[in-house]
Chain A
Amino acid sequence: MNTGRIVRLAERNRAEVHFLLDGETCSALAGDTVLTAMLASGHALRSSEFGPEPRAGFCLMGACQDCWIWQEEGARLRACSTPVAEGMRLRTTPPESWP
């Protein structure tokens, strides 16, 4: 099940939460941040706008702003400081309608 970047070392007995990532259903645990949830099954959060490399966050304390990602609804969020919630629809790329 866990094929992503992060390794869960503790606190594994939490309720499962489901969310959509780029249209695919993914699962995480209640209390995960969006960053933890996304990196539990993936290796990156978004692509750099200025280089070829993917990005996966950097400071985890809301200072570096590396981990802003998109939601289907349009609004962006900072993945390291936003708790994941059931039914969230997240994107690693801007929605089609993004300016």
Chain B
Amino acid sequence: MSEASSSRIVIVGAGPAGIRAAATLVAAGLHPIVIDEGHRAGGQIYRRPPDGFVRTPEQLYGSEAAKARALHMLFDRQAAEGRLTHHAGNSVIAVHDGRLHVLGEGGVQVIGYDRLILATGASDRVAPIPGWQSAGVYSLGAAQIALKAQGVALGRRIVLIGSGPLLTLVGTQLLKAGADVAAVLETSSWRQQMRGLGGLAARPIVALRGLALRARLGGRYHAGVTLERIEANASGVTAMRWRDAGGRQRITPCDMVGMGWHLRAETHLADLTGCAFDYDEQWRQWLPKTDAMGRAGNGIYLAGDGTRLLGADGAEIAGRLAAAACLTDLGHVAPPIQADLRKLARLERFARGLARAFPWPAEMVRTLPDETVACRCENVTAAAVREGVDFGGGEANRVKSLSRSGMGRCQGRYCQLAVTELVAARNGCSPNAVGRFRGQAPVRPAPVGAFLRDE
């Protein structure tokens, strides 16, 4: 038996990258196993509401409806025909020695693999603001998921803060659905946004669509703002305090704040498999190292926003490429890749233009007031992080163990970038020199009962 016919290929994630990777393997006659936390395939970007919801893909995904529909139909058909195995509603919580530990309703099961394709996606990159631990503060992604998958707004009067295309998109989606959006506050100045133009020209239609969305926000949209604090009382958010580009103080009453500065790659599983990481200066985060196809070595392949933040279109291409690399390595005939590689290069120019136009607010984070909560899991303050540096030096994991930032329930997903920025500022070095938090299994909380077996 050849290696190919006996090899078990597991894909983690059923968003655009995972779906395209699975379809490429199925087309080559293989039967992949797809493990995904969602109840239905689609990922976060093309997330589907539960059964019984009636809005059409056009209402849910707007200009991207055709892409969403195509992916959903493709995956559902291949699953129904038994050409792939879909473990829905399951979380991979650990990887060791060629085996995945998978948490589902029935407990933890172990699934072995010969080749592993990680398509774990991304989550919002958030930055701490005084008051962000209050009830009623959510990520931008949360606001979008609530609208798409539940048909709800997370507040009666909404302020959105952060930077990048998702900020504008969520604002217009909420308005269209009938929510009260009081203000959309972009921390990047017009001048900074112009610096990204060279890259943004790689996808002129997408860039123009972004400007058109922004126009729909009208006077709610403010660029180049300074964010001061989120005011709250005992039941949650009451107002956003900020300064406009001219330095005038503004207070916008609201009961919900949505925040996000573009995306942060979800890399815990890549870390556990032993992938090497590089610090990416433009995306200002640590990303796993791969070749152009997504090969990370040791039979591991990475695709989508979990490795390079190119968005949904890029994820579809990267999913195909990772599967093609896997097929080639197993001695199968792989589909042609040249056109996909060219498209991906163009998407990367665009994405790097975005990163330049809508940067991580490094200066804001570096100068956070001492009493600001940096880690919202355990309310570790900026002062505690700075004391950690003074006591133990400017290394990420040392500060983590001294301050407990990054050791709470989210395992550093939402504080890591801010904490390393704070450490770098205190230590007088670049975030690159601070290092990154080491990932630890389980990467999701797992109840003790999930590991017990009835004998």
Q: Count contacts between A and B, CB distance < 8 Å.
A: 140
A59-B414, A62-B444, A63-B410 known; A53-B55 Cβ under 8 A:
no
Pair B153/A63 contact, Cβ less than 8 Å: no
- Contact B151–A59 (Cβ < 8 Å): no
Contacting B at CB under 8 A, from A27-73, are 30-33, 36, 39-40, 43-44, 48-51, 53-66, 68
Q: Name the segment of B17-25, B131-139, B204-212, B270-278 touching the other chain.
A: B131-139
Task: Decide yes or no: A75 and B449 within 8 Å by CB, A31-B49, A59-B142, A60-B138 being known contacts.
Answer: yes
* Stretch of B6-14, B190-198, B294-302, B376-384 that contacts chain A: B376-384
Return the contact of B236 from the options A7, A56, A76 (Cβ within 8 A). A56
Which of chain A's residues has its CB closest to B414's CB? A64
| CB contact under 8 A between A48 and B52, given known A59-B123, A61-B145 | no
Chain B interface residue bracket vs A: 35 or more
Residues of A within 8 A of B377 (CB): 50, 64-66
Per-position binary interface string of chain B over residues 258-273, scored 1 when its CB falls under 8 Å from any chain A CB and 0 otherwise: 0000000010000000
B439 at the interface (CB under 8 A from A): no
Task: Give the chain A neighbours of B153 by CB distance below 8 A.
Answer: 6-7, 9
Q: How far is the CB of B292 from chain A (nearest CB, A)?
A: 28
Main secondary structure of the interface of A (DSSP, over half): loop
CA distance A69 to B30 in the complex (A): 41
CB distance from A57 to the nearest CB of B (A): 7
Contact B53 A11 (CB under 8 A): yes
Closest Cβ of chain B to A50, distance in Å, is 4
Q: Which residues 84-110 in B have Cβ within 8 Å of A in the complex? A: 91
A88 to chain B, nearest CB (A): 15
User: When the two chains form their complex, are residues B413 and A36 in contact, meaning their CB atoms are under 8 A apart?
Assistant: no
Q: A31-B50, A36-B150, A75-B447 are in contact. Are A57 and B138 (CB under 8 A)?
A: yes
Verify A65–B378 contact, CB threshold 8 A: no
Is the CB–CB distance between A11 and B55 below 8 Å?
Answer: yes
Interchain CB contact under 8 A, B141 and A7: no
Contacts of B151 in A (CB 8 A): 8-12
- Expressed in whole angstroms, the minimum distance between the Cβ of A31 and any Cβ of chain B is 4
CB contacts (< 8 Å) of A39 on chain B: these are 154
Chain A CB within 8 A of B409 CB: yes
CB pair A83–B150 under 8 Å, yes or no, is no
Given contacts A5-B236, A6-B153, A64-B410, whether A55 and B135 have CB atoms under 8 Å apart is: yes
Contacts of A7 in B (CB 8 A): 152-153, 155-156, 179
Do A9 and B179 touch across chains, with their CB atoms under 8 A apart? yes
Q: When chains A and B are docked, how far (Å) is the Cα of A11 from the Cα of B256?
A: 21
Q: Which of B142, B236, B379 contacts A51, CB < 8 Å?
A: B379
Q: Does the CB pair A44–B447 fall under 8 Å? A: no
In the complex, chain B residues 145-179 whose Cβ is within 8 Å of any chain A Cβ: 145-147, 150-156, 177-179
Give Cα A42–Cα B362 distance, bound, in whole angstroms: 36
Contacts of B152 in A (CB 8 A): 6-9, 36, 40
A50 and B378 contact, Cβ closer than 8 Å, known pairs A60-B141, A65-B445: yes
B338 on the A face (CB < 8 A)? no
**In the complex, chain A residues whose CB is within 8 Å of the CB of B255:** 5
- In Å, the complex CA distance between A40 and B160 comes to 21
Query: Across the interface, do A56 and B444 meet the contact criterion of CB distance under 8 Å?
Result: no
Give which listed residue, A33, A36, A44, A76, contacts B235 with CB less than 8 A.
A44
Interchain nearest-CB distance for B162 vs A (Å): 14
- Are B146 and A48 touching (Cβ within 8 A)? no
- A83 to B154: give the CA distance in the assembly, Å: 17
Q: B150, B156, B447: which contacts A32 (Cβ < 8 A)?
A: B150
**Given A31-B49, A31-B52, A50-B378: A58 touches B138 (CB 8 Å cut-off):** yes
The answer to whether B145 and A60 have CB atoms under 8 Å apart is: yes
Given A7-B155, A66-B376, A66-B410, 7 extra CB contacts under 8 A: A8-B151, A36-B146, A54-B135, A55-B135, A58-B376, A64-B139, A75-B449
Residues of B within 8 A of A (CB): 37, 44, 49-55, 91, 123-124, 133-139, 141-142, 145-147, 150-156, 177-179, 232, 234-236, 255-256, 266, 373, 376-379, 409-410, 413-414, 444-445, 447, 449
Q: Which residues of A contact B (CB under 8 A)?
A: 5-15, 30-33, 36, 39-40, 43-44, 48-51, 53-66, 68, 75-76, 81, 83
Give 8 CB contacts A-B under 8 Å.
A33-B150, A36-B152, A44-B135, A48-B379, A58-B376, A61-B141, A62-B91, A65-B410
